[in-house]
Amino acid sequence: VSANKSAVKIIAEETDLHAQGYFVYDSKKSGAMTVSHLRFGPRPIHATYLVKRASFVACHQFSFLERQDVLEVAAPGATFLLNAPYGPGEVWGHLPREVQQVIVEKNLQLHVIDAHHLARTLGMKGRINTIMQTCFFAISGVLPRDEAIARIKESIKKTYGKRGEAVVRKNYAAVDDTLANLYQMQVPAAVTSTQ
């Protein structure tokens, strides 16, 4: 939620777009599913409502694919960002059949990153919010990439500055290393999973 609130703030302050975030989350918080509905566009946004036809869907926990219909709201041709514990050459084979079917039928663009591995490598344990936020800005094109990265880093300094320079540096490294670990997948023409 914090990364998405930051993304909304960056979009609203750094572009001519109006932006809004609406969040649905379980009272358990830790380990529970949170759904963030981010909307932005050239006209003012006056109402809060759930996005029912999304041009960008991100799944931050691979296991949610087996428990939830994550892609139900994905519009045809939408972008799907997936945090997966598999490399680009093997992730397709690990997707549930229903997920593969939706990706093929809706002609989704699939982008994959192993954000948990990258976070652990950088000494950030399971903190993937900076990584996933960087992916969003890199893929969405809502801001030019270099400008988006500069804005994310400014936000990191404001958010984590009180925790010390080491925390800020780790988050900066996460931003810098994300793009090298983000892959756009070539989606096969047919479903192959037997799961």
DSSP notation for 80-95: EEEE-SS-TTTHHHHS
Per-residue pLDDT tens digits for 70-129 = 999 999 999 999 999 998 889 999 999 999 999 999 999 999 999 999 999 999 988 898
Task: Say which DSSP state 189 is in.
Answer: S
pTM value?
0.86
pLDDT tier for residue 13 given thresholds of 50, 70 and 90: confident
User: Could you tell me the two tokens for 35?
Assistant: 């759904």
Place of tokens 């925390």: 167
91's tokens: 């992730």
Closest CA to 149 of 182, 122, 121: 182
User: What's the pLDDT at 109?
Assistant: 97
**DSSP H or E run through 34:** strand 34-41
Instruction: Give the number of C-alpha atoms closer than 13 A to the C-alpha of residue 132, restricted to the C-beta side.
Output: 25
20-59 pLDDT, tens digit per residue, is 877 777 766 555 667 777 777 888 888 777 888 999 999 9
